[in-house]
């Protein structure tokens, strides 16, 4: 059984970096901002809950006509599911793009709250004319909505509602302005141990809440953990999560789902043994390694090679350039995560 050692509650001061290169100062300031205002988390959580409580009315997208006046659809309620809180909103700039959809910055017209609007095309063209694939896509979105609408935790990205149209489904989430841990690593490089400990503690808190609610995440990685400007991190990416009544008991109906380089051995061998929420703990260890190294686990392997090694009981190797810099507790934490 994998055991977890809790990291310190707050990081020690970030060490000064060399400013010899032109990007040094930018890097130091950016990393410091990751943890700036961390103790304001309780205030933020209360503010978010209040904003959620203010949402009312139908989901109506406002858009300006050529004269600058606001116009709205004639019958927006006809295509709405009845189970969610609804509101009026403005559509802003494109901030992300995926295989089947896009993410826009939006704004609640009543409260002024910024939103992340995940808009997914559900027309036949989006799936290359494959009707079955489109049905699976819609079912996956319904599952994601069903999972997220019941979650309420400071370290879980907050679901705010959804909107169904004839050719698209939009999911409204709280807007996290700092991007993902993955994008932060890409821009600024590896994190210092105090920062890793602080973010890991928050991720553990969110993950413990999910498991308490009977939810396997199944796709935990740096790209699916968002960072707010005050240092609060939030787990996102619930497209392949799963609800279960026996969170730590092996379920043979669990199939091979997730991102290869963060997968636990049980996931790869799932056809024989099944797996439980313990696979999220393995993935957490991979995220911790990712933050220390500034690159994904199994960085020298292609997907096929990583699958072979994981299936044969190997753990992600610690990058050579950080092997001598990690403290014993950091190494022990990752090794605990990688126990099978």
- Beta-strand ranges (E) seen in the chain are 60-64, 70-71, 88-97, 101-108, 114-121, 159-164, 168-174, 215-216, 225-227, 233-235, 242-243
pLDDT for 125 equals: 72
For the purposes of burial, counting CB atoms within 10 Å of the CB of 282, is it exposed (0-12), middle (13-18) or buried (19 or more)?
buried
Spans of the chain, pLDDT less than 50? 3-57, 66-84
Token code pair at residue 204: 């553990």
pLDDT for 16 equals: 32
If one counts every other C-beta atom within 10 angstroms of the C-beta of residue 303, the result is: 12
pLDDT for 140 equals: 86
pLDDT for 186 equals: 95
pLDDT for 2 equals: 55
Domain boundaries, the chain: 31-43+178-337, 56-110+114-174
Which residues, listed in sequence order, are joined to residue 61 by a DSSP beta bridge?
89
Fold of 31-43+178-337: Transferase(Phosphotransferase); domain 1 (1.10.510)
56-110+114-174: CATH class: alpha beta
pLDDT for 3 equals: 42
pLDDT for 63 equals: 61
Q: What share of the chain is helix, strand, coil (3-state, %, to 5)?
A: 40, 20, 45
pLDDT for 255 equals: 67
User: Was 118 annotated as part of a binding site?
Assistant: yes
pLDDT for 200 equals: 98
């Amino acid at each position: 059984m994998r055991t977890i050692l809790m990291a310190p509650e707050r990081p020690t001061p970030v060490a000064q970096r060399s400013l010899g290169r032109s990007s040094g100062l930018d890097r130091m300031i950016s990393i410091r901002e990751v943890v700036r205002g961390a103790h304001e988390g309780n205030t933020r959580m209360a503010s978010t809950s209040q904003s959620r409580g203010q949402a009312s009315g139908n989901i109506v997208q406002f858009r300006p006509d050529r004269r600058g006046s606001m116009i709205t659809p004639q019958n927006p309620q006809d295509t709405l599911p009845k189970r969610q809180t609804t509101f009026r909103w403005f559509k802003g700039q494109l901030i992300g793009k995926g295989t089947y959809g896009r993410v826009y910055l939006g704004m609640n017209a009543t409260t002024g709250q910024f939103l992340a609007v995940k808009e997914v095309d559900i027309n036949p063209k989006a799936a290359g004319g494959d009707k079955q694939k489109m049905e699976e896509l819609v079912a996956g979105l319904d599952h994601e909505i069903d999972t997220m609408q019941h979650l309420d935790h400071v370290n879980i990205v907050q679901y705010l509602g959804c909107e169904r149209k004839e050719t698209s489904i939009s999911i409204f989430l709280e807007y996290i302005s700092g991007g993902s841990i993955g994008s932060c690593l890409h821009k600024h490089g590896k994190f210092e141990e105090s920062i890793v400990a602080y973010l890991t503690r928050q991720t553990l808190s969110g993950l413990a809440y999910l498991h308490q609610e009977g939810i396997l995440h199944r796709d935990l990685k740096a790209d699916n953990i968002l960072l707010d400007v005050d240092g609060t991190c939030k787990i996102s990416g619930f497209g392949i999560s799963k609800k279960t009544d026996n969170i730590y008991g092996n379920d043979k109906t669990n199939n091979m789902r997730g991102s290869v380089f963060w997968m636990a051995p049980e996931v790869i061998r799932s056809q024989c043994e099944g797996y439980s929420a313990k696979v999220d703990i393995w993935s957490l260890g991979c995220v911790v390694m990712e933050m220390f190294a500034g690159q994904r686990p199994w960085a020298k392997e292609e997907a096929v090679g990583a699958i072979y090694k994981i299936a044969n009981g190997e753990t992600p190797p610690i990058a050579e350039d950080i092997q001598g810099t990690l403290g014993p507790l950091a190494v022990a934490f990752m090794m605990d995560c990688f126990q099978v």
